[in-house]
Amino acid sequence: MTLPEQVGQLYMVGVSTAGLDAATSTAIRDTHTGSVVLLGNSTAGAAAITKVTKAVSALGTDAMPLMVAADQEGGRVQRLKGPGFSAIPTALDQSAMPAGELRDAARGWGQELAAVGVQYDLAPVADVVPQAKQSSNAPIGALKRNYGNDREVAARGVVEFTEGMAEAGIATSLKHFPGLGKVTTNTDFGAAKDTDVVPGDEDWSVFTAGIEAGASSVMVSSGVFMNLDPDHEGVFSSIIITDILRGELGFDKVVIADDLGAAVAVKDVPAAERGTRFIQAGGDLAINADPALLKAMVADTLAAAEADEAFATRVAGSAARVLELKADAGLLTCSA
The tens digit of pLDDT for each residue in 165-183 reads: 999 999 999 999 999 999 9
Q: Which pLDDT score is estimated for 49?
A: 98
Q: Which fold has domain 3-328?
A: TIM Barrel (3.20.20)
What is the residue-averaged pLDDT of the chain?
96
Backbone dihedral region of 11: left (phi > 0), alpha (psi from -120 to 50 degrees) or beta?
Answer: beta
Q: Which of 137, 146, 135, 139 lies closest to 259 in space, CA to CA? A: 139
Residue range 228-249: mean pLDDT, rounded: 97
Cα(316)–Cα(305) distance, integer angstroms: 10
- Residue 136: which residues within 8 A CB-CB, separation 6 or more? 142, 184
Which segments of the chain does DSSP mark as H helices, in order?
3-8, 22-31, 46-57, 91-94, 101-115, 151-167, 204-212, 238, 274-280, 294-307, 309-328
What residues contact residue 81 under an 8 Å CB cut-off, 6+ apart?
41, 42, 43, 45, 87
Which pLDDT does position 69 carry in this prediction?
A: 98
* Beta pairing partners, 287: 12
Counting Cα atoms < 13 Å in the Cβ hemisphere of 165 gives: 31
Average pLDDT value for residue range 324-330: 94
* Geometric angle at alpha carbon 278, from 253 and 165, rounded to 5°: 35
pLDDT > 90 fraction of the chain, expressed in percent and rounded:
93
Whether the predicted pLDDT of 250 surpasses 60: yes
User: For the whole model, what pTM was predicted?
Assistant: 0.96
Tell me if residue 311 falls in helix, strand or coil.
helix
- Residue 11 confidence (pLDDT) above 80: yes
pLDDT at 318 over 50: yes
The rounded distance, in Å, linking the Cα atoms of 157 and 135 is 20
Q: What is the DSSP string of 241-284?
A: IIIIIIIIS---SEEEESPSSS-GGGTTS-GGGHHHHHHHTT--
* Distance separating alpha carbons of residues 139 and 205, to the nearest angstrom: 20
If one counts every other C-beta atom within 10 angstroms of the C-beta of residue 242, the result is 15
Decide if pLDDT at 227 tops 60.
yes
Compute the distance between CA of residue 160 and CA of residue 231 in angstroms, rounded to an integer: 36
Residue 198 confidence (pLDDT) above 90: yes
Q: Indicate the domain borders of the chain.
A: 3-328
Percentage of the residues of the chain whose pLDDT score is greater than 70: 99
For 1-5, 248-252, 330-334, which range has the lowest pLDDT when averaged over its residues?
A: 330-334
Q: Is the pLDDT of residue 335 over 50?
A: no
User: Any idea what DSSP says for residue 240?
Assistant: I
Res 334: pLDDT: 55
Q: 288 in helix, strand or coil?
A: strand
pLDDT score of 332:
87
- pLDDT exceeds cutoff 80 at 306: yes
Mean pLDDT of 301-330: 97
pLDDT at residue 264 tops 90: no
When pLDDT is averaged across residues 76-87 and rounded to a whole number, the result is 98
